[in-house]
A and B are shown apart, each in its own frame.
Chain A
Amino acid sequence: MSSVATSAPAAPSANPILALRRAGPFFFVLALAALVYALIGPQQFANALTIGAIYALIALGYTMVYGIIALINFAHGEIFMVGAFVSLFFLGEQLGQTGPVRDLPVLLVLVIAAFLVTMVVVGLLGVLIERFAYRPLRNAPRLAPLITAIGISFILQNVVQIIYGPSPVNTPQIIAPTERFGLLGASIGYVNLFVLAAAVVLMVLLQLFVNRTRLGRAMRSTAQDREAAQLMGVDINRTIAATFFIGSALAGAAGVVYGLYFGNISFVIGFQAGLKAFTAAVLGGIGNITGAALGGFIIGFVEVTAAATGYFVWAQALVFTTLILVLVFRPAGLLGQQLGERA
């Protein structure tokens, strides 16, 4: 920050009603978390947080891409799925891992390497898709790129199915699922803790990046007014490409933790997870990064609660009922621009 910035007077304290409205969604999520905790107990609650974190990571990419080019990137779920397979390819096939790694430093190196490799590969895949499938259609009617996205999603599914076959494939669970610790009378896996921590770290990094860096500012400007951003000197093609890279890389990270947590993956996981993550993004307010994260956790809560209370078959219906309820009261989603708020 420049010296001028720091010496500038602070904004006058916000109006309390507005502050309350801003805080509302966070209280809603906290209250929901408390309710869920009371219903399903600490064991399942940890499970809900873990699954919610995975949805949240995927939802970020949906919301970022929508924010910048108003496209619902239906291929995003498949990018997550490809991430899970890239991680399998790297850890399992290249490094020959098959099971738990007990040596902590080695484990750490493996995990970080898996993240880096997968995020870069999948990030580039996202950039490639944008470059060749979406950019040529940027000025076409909005339905065109949407259809293209669905096409890309089939292509990715088919390619993975051809390489790895239609049935689930085991992934190396290098963080031993049997390693657990006691908390509040529950036995919680270190892998749960790891997934949650990884997701939170990535989300905090994303927030810092978007809010504090030059490229982050360029992304927000391009999302708000593409033409004005160009007049500032922003190369919007590069900025949009960067957005796809980051959003896809985060989905790749979700793919890595999915494999580590569940221990098996298949070419269809992108469809299911993608749909729910998309729901999470809409629920949080599409275009809003914090909203997508909150939405992911809400979906995790609802889904695991349904499953843990014996209503597993109702899980999907409950997820979408939650979505509808939220949209009835806040049409633009929890943290979305409410009508009239857009300047």
Chain B
Amino acid sequence: MTAAPAEAGDQAIAAPAGGNDEAAEVILRLDDVHTYYGSIHALQGITVDLRQGEIVTLIGANGAGKTTTLKTISGLLHPRQGTVHFRGADVSRRAPHDLVKDGISHAPEGRRIFSRLTVLENLKMGGYTRRPAEIREDLSRVFELFPRLFERANQKGGTLSGGEQQMLAIGRALMSRPAVLLLDEPSLGLAPILVQQIFRIIQEINAQGTTILLVEQNAQQALAIAQRGYVLQTGRVILADSARGLAANEDVRRAYLGEI
């Protein structure tokens, strides 16, 4: 686990813009989802929903089931019981490549960039489901968000620094123009200053209209930019509340915000 962020870092991040907008429609909904790895019962009835335009965070200890939840949404895993609804349609059985076309993009844990492809090729892969003209448009958008990637466009992905690789992973996920962006531990292993930058960019992406489900070890920072959050423990949701509510919750503070 990375060192707890400095106090100053907390303030550098703006408070949630919109707050909890109850009127917005539910764009993604997990209903009593059970997912297994063989006989391992990893998700034991997860119910989560995302409303249009929100940033929602999943927090929880290692092994709680955060990554499994994202994989179940993006179709890498399918629930054995329960459903995933996206824009009202049951997508529990859809293949990952179809879900990308539908508008769900998943930046996986550990970045998983294509290290032997150039930065530009990685981004083009992100836009795999889109037409060349759209790709050109989205490339400029991503390069605007991450000028660093433009400078390194022709370099192999594997030669980038950790921070740059994370930028590439997020930029690549944006290339499919997702309605919902799933981010799995985007700040993992980054220096504090880069963590700040990544969180700012996540807010910017959200402000441009993308709904975000953010998995973070860095619960404090995640709660600072999210509107709502869910706390997972051994495959179950043990708490669901507004980000403010969670940040103020004694148990959460003790268990996940590093307070004694």
Contacts and interface: CB of A to CB of B under 8 A. Distances in A.
Nearest to B153: A8
Interface of A is mostly: helix
B11 to A, nearest CB: 34
Sort chain B's interface into a size bin: 35 or more
Nearest to A211: B121
A230 B154 contact: no
Contacts of B140: 4
B147 to A, nearest CB: 12
A3 B136 contact: yes
B112 A227 contact: yes
B126 to A, nearest CB: 6
Nearest to A230: B96
A176 B29 CA distance: 70
Given A225-B114, A228-B114, A9 B151 contact: yes
Nearest to B160: A343
Contacts of B173: 231
B115 interface: yes
A234 B153 contact: no
Sort chain A's interface into a size bin: 20 to 34
A232 B126 contact: yes
Given A3-B136, A4-B140, A217-B125, A231 B117 contact: no
Given A214-B124, A231-B100, 17 more contacts: A2-B135, A4-B120, A8-B120, A10-B154, A218-B128, A228-B108, A228-B113, A230-B76, A231-B96, A231-B106, A231-B108, A232-B172, A233-B101, A233-B128, A234-B125, A343-B116, A343-B158
Q: Rank and list the top 6 A-B pairs by shortest CB-CB distance, nearest first.
A: A8-B153, A343-B115, A343-B158, A233-B100, A233-B129, A228-B112
Interface of B: 74-76, 95-97, 100-101, 105-106, 108, 112-117, 120-121, 124-126, 128-129, 132, 135-136, 139-140, 143, 150-155, 157-158, 172-173, 176
24 contacts: A4-B140, A5-B139, A5-B153, A8-B153, A220-B116, A221-B114, A224-B115, A225-B114, A227-B76, A227-B112, A228-B108, A229-B125, A230-B96, A231-B112, A231-B173, A232-B125, A233-B96, A233-B100, A233-B128, A234-B97, A236-B97, A343-B115, A343-B116, A343-B158
Interface of A: 2-5, 8-11, 214, 217-218, 220-221, 224-225, 227-236, 342-343
